Amino acid sequence: MKNRHIINKGLLIPILFTLLLPPVCSLILGYEFSGQRVTHVPTAIVDHDNSTLSRNLTDKISLNDAFDIKYFGQENDVVKKLIESGEIATGIIIPKNFSSDMLNGQAPEILVIYDGTQMAMAGAVKTGISEVLGTIRSGYLLQVMQGKLNLTPAEAQNYIQPIAYTTRILGNPAKSTPTFILQGILVNIVQVAVFLLGIEMFDKKNKRFSAYFKKGIFCGLAGTLSAVGTLWIHINLFKSPFNGSAIPVLVLTVLNMTGMANIGILLSLLTKEKQLAVEFATLIMATLLLAGYTFPVVAMTDLFQKVSKFIPISYYVIPLRDVTLLGTTLQQVLPDIYWLLKFMLYTWLGILFACKFGELRSLISSFISTRRGKEAKEV
């Protein structure tokens, strides 16, 4: 490899950085999020009704694993203070007329206060409180109808919920946040490392396109090896679902990583300063936020919806998640593969132009120097 001008001793650390750092991050983040879903959210309950029904509701909340009751009292202001101090993440306030409204067929309003800075906990609380309230309401109305209308339990159930329904979640039935978010974070770390490795491949003495072409392929394969190892740890050690085929994952990874390595090489050729090129790594890492991975593209403004169409990682992490979680086939991700293929080819064209431009600039400089030498000799 050294004789072919691909690597030298100075590149050993960047290569090890690319190969080893992402798998280590996979281990660390995997252990950190090994709980899979958010449970035991610190909760405060304020019960102004203090009736049999409200106490039953409190018991149901305590038994639901989404909640961990830290405070029980009568003052609403305490809930706000506890959230601000970080002691709880949610508060549930039961109104004074809760039981009487239920008895009279009205809909009592329970106030649920969330800590908006911890949206993962807020999502878990919303699901948990919906389950509890649905159970309480159905059970209470069943008793009322059986007592007042003299109906059997089966007949009363038909009145309460005449249309039965079931739900099914595809790809992430456990509703695990790490399952769908960690993959994107980890492969984003890999592509940033590959981008930096591409920058390190710059060689002032060798500006031939063939040399940089080989270096780009080498960096792309190193990034692919790192990404595959990272995903293997995520899937096998931490039991993240993998419902698709390895072929589309490999194809997507090779194309994206090679393209990102080429971007690093191209920037180093154009700027001639490694430090300036390295500063672009921050932008590369931030592209995950615009890719529609953590926040859906359809909810963005029109400007950013258009910008997301030109971000390479958009055509990598989204289909990668679909393949691993939903079992999307190679045929279904072909549009993304075509886009990444064009992206890789365009970066090679950019490197070719930069190399030829450098050669042209060298020839012009040499011609000017020679001409000046002749003029000086004549003088």
User: Which domains does the chain carry?
Assistant: 9-33+176-369 (no CATH), 41-160 (3.40.1710.10)
* Cβ atoms within 10 Å, residue 290: 19
Q: What is the pTM of this model?
A: 0.72
Q: Is 90 exceeded by the pLDDT of residue 333?
A: yes
Distances (CA, A) of 41 to 67, 93, 127, 330: 5, 16, 12, 40
- For residue 162, the model assigns a pLDDT of 41
Distances (CA, A) of 246 to 129, 225, 323, 329, 342: 39, 13, 9, 10, 22
- For residue 9, the model assigns a pLDDT of 61
- How many C-alpha atoms does 211 have within 13 Å on its Cβ side? 18
Q: Is 90 exceeded by the pLDDT of residue 260?
A: yes
Tokens 């996979």 belong to residue: 26
Arithmetic mean of pLDDT, 20-28: 82
Beta bridge partners of 272: none
The mean-pLDDT minimum among 37-51, 129-143, 240-254, 280-294 falls in 129-143
The share of the chain scoring above pLDDT 70, in percent, equals 76
- Cα 235 to chain centroid distance, Å, stands at 16
Distance CA 363, CA 365 (A): 5
Distance CA 262, CA 283 (A): 16
- For residue 253, the model assigns a pLDDT of 96
- For residue 168, the model assigns a pLDDT of 58
